[in-house]
Amino acid sequence: MTRTYLVTGSASGIGAATADLLAAQGHRVIGVDMHDADIVADLTTHEGRAALVEHARDLSGGTIDAVIANAGLATESTATVAVNYFGALATLDCLRPLLAGSSAPRAVATASMASLFPVDDELVDACLAHDEPAALHRAKELLDEGAGGLIYSSTKRALVRWIRRSAATDEWAGSGIPLNGVAPGIIRTPMTATYTATEESRKAVLDMVPMPLNGIAEAETVAHLIAYLTSVENTHLCGQVVFIDGGSDVVIRGESTW
C-alpha cells in the first residue's frame, strides 16, 4: 500500500536516509527543509511553520499517513530551541489534522540519547509550558553564562517528556495515532562530522556516549526504525522513546528505568 509521508530535515543525514528508504519502499515522501526540499521552510519561524502547514495540505491533497518531525540543530544557539522543540511540536500538532483521513496514521519525532545528559530545568519547563519567548530568553541567558552546552540536551529532554505526556491523550492514542520517538546515539551525519572525523575525535565522543554495540551508526540504521514506527504494522507502540544508540542508554541508566 502506497502511503504519504512527511519528513522534516529531509535534505540531510537521518531525514534524507529516511526519505530515501520510504521512497525506495514505494511510498510518496514530502520532504521539508531549509533547502533542497518539496517544502522549503525555516521551522524556527512562525512564517515557516505556517508555510509548512499550507504547503503540506496542498501537496498531500489533505491527507498524510505519517509525520516525521526530525529537523534539528545541535549548535549552542537559540535557534536550536526554536527548531528542536517548538519546530517539532508545530510539525506534529499542526499537521495532526491531516492524519485524520489516513486509515493508519502515525507520528514520530527524532529525539536523542542526549536527553539523558544534564539539562537546564528552567529551559525544559519553559518548553513544556509552550512559552517560546521564555524558552528563547532562557537559552540566551545560558549562552551569556557560558552554559550553552545545556541547550541541546534540554530541547531533547523536553521533547521526550512532551511525547510521554501527549501519546496517550485523545488527540493521539484516542484518535488512533501512535506517537513515538527515536533517541539516536552518535550517527554519522553532517551534524556529527567533527566528532567522527578522526580516530582521536571518535574516541573522545565515544567516551561521552558509550556505544558498546557496534559503535557509531549510519543514518540508514535510524531510518529503518523510523520506517517501522510509522508503518501500518506498528499498531501498539504508544509514547515509546526507542534508544537506537549502540547501548549508551543501557550503560548510562542500567536498570534504573524499572
Ligand X SMILES: NC(=O)c1ccc[n+]([C@@H]2O[C@H](COP(=O)([O-])OP(=O)(O)OC[C@H]3O[C@@H](n4cnc5c(N)ncnc54)[C@H](O)[C@@H]3O)[C@@H](O)[C@H]2O)c1
Q: Residue 104 or 116: which CB sits closer to ligand X?
A: 116
181 binds ligand X (CB under 6 A): no
Whole-number minimum distance, CB 137 to ligand X, in Å?
19
Burial class (CB in 10 A: 0-12, 13-18, 19+), 12: middle
What is the Cα–Cα distance from 193 to 5, expressed in whole angstroms?
28
Amino acid identity of residue 13, one-letter, is G
The three-class DSSP label of residue 81 is helix
Residue pair 9/33 in contact by the 8 Å Cβ criterion: yes
Among 12, 102, 175, 221, binds ligand X (CB under 6 A): 12
Residues 46-105 that bind ligand X (CB under 6 A): 70-74, 83, 87
Write the CA distances from 243 to 40, 114, 129, 200, integer angstroms: 29, 10, 25, 25
Whole-number minimum distance, CB 104 to ligand X, in Å?
24
Among 81, 191, 211, 223, binds ligand X (CB under 6 A): 191
Find the length of the chain.
258
| CA-only gyration radius of the chain, Å | 17
DSSP label at residue 218: E
Among 33, 65, 93, 120, binds ligand X (CB under 6 A): 33
Q: Residue 98 or 186: which CB sits closer to ligand X?
A: 186
* CB-CB neighbours of 124 under 10 Å: 23
Among 18, 44, 180, 234, binds ligand X (CB under 6 A): 44
179 binds ligand X (CB under 6 A): no
Residues 192-231 that bind ligand X (CB under 6 A): 192
Give residues in contact with ligand X (CB under 6 A). Answer: 8-9, 11-15, 33-34, 42-44, 70-74, 83, 87, 110, 112, 184, 186-187, 189-192
